[in-house]
Amino acid sequence: MDLELRHLRIVRAVADAGSVSKAASLLGLAQPALTAQLKRIERLLGGTLFERDRHGARPTRLGELVLARARVLLPAAKELQDEAVRFAHTPSPGFRIGATNGPILGGLVDRLATERKVSTYTSWSARELNGMVELGRLDYVLTGACGDSGTPTGTLLWETISLDPVFCLVRDAHPVAKEKEVELADLADEQWAVTPGDGCFADCFAMACARSGFTPGTIYETDVPTCVHLAQVGRAVVLCQATHQAAQGLTMIPLAGAPLRWRQLLGRHPTAPEAAWVVAQAKQAHMDAVRRSPVYSDWLVRNPGYGTAP
């Protein structure tokens, strides 16, 4: 038997009610039936979830762990269900755009919204977004890949929007924060933070480190706010796109020789509306992001042969 959402609902109900009998009443079950289900859940999870006596039911340490996860997962599952229903029943006469984490989605939406309605859907998984476009649930997907990798396979049509170096974020007090650029090898002893993805970036980073003579230590794969926090407290160096806007307390520094590159890609369904215009707007949104980044703009002046075009 696998753990299911209904099992988590039972754990939450018992904890909230403070007793199995009260939870059974709330769930519309007979107490013996709920007790039997709870025992099956405890066998599945490997231990007792509640200490039960005449005063009621109190979570054990294992119960507290399961309950904490349940209080996150159950609302998330409900939100997913509601969002899916809204998505399936909402007409979309405008542009439907999916995107992974990146710096140009906002600019692209701003440009497109001057002409037509725009809806967005974000995910860390480029594969998920590509599948949604292939199924016709999205018109476009804005994603990225390591600079040396090709475009994804499948039925989508792809355009390269830009080819940018990967920079790093460090806290202002970091020893290299005042440098114009830093050798990757000089960061060999650091811990790292990156946003998640299902592409080859982790492998490309490992190979770049190997070329610089070291194996990277701990790599925290997490969301943008957590990456920023880890950099601000000096716990990690963050790998970021060159068009990223550094948060307060952080400094963005180029990696010498651009050992890592990131290709911004725009994929589209063959029937996507106004494709040529959308591609042009995406490229303009990227150039807007470049102009907003003094670090990247300065780096391009010092590296005139690089450019941001594919």
Both 58 and 205 in one domain: the answer is no
Both 28 and 100 in one domain: the answer is no
Task: Judge whether residue 269 has pLDDT over 60.
Answer: yes
Both 71 and 213 in one domain: the answer is no
Look up the pTM and report it: 0.66
Both 151 and 201 in one domain: the answer is yes
> What domain range is 84 assigned to?
5-89
Both 72 and 202 in one domain: the answer is no
Most confident of 50-54, 64-68, 198-202: 64-68
CATH code, domain with 170? 3.40.190.290
Q: Which of 41, 57, 89 is the endpoint of a domain?
A: 89
Residue 87 — very low, low, confident or very high, per pLDDT cuts 50/70/90?
low
CATH code, domain with 44? 1.10.10.10
Both 82 and 99 in one domain: the answer is no
Percent share of the chain, pLDDT over 90: 75
Both 107 and 75 in one domain: the answer is no
Q: Which of 89, 104, 127 is the endpoint of a domain?
A: 89
Gap between the Cα atoms of 180 and 193, Å rounded: 21
> Which among 151, 142, 145 has a CA at the least distance from the CA of 107?
142
Task: Judge whether residue 112 has pLDDT over 80.
Answer: yes
> Which among 104, 247, 225, 260 has a CA at the least distance from the CA of 169?
247
Gap between the Cα atoms of 141 and 211, Å rounded: 33
Q: Which of 58, 89, 120 is the endpoint of a domain?
A: 89
Both 42 and 133 in one domain: the answer is no
Task: Judge whether residue 310 has pLDDT over 60.
Answer: no
Both 19 and 149 in one domain: the answer is no
Total structural domains within the chain:
2
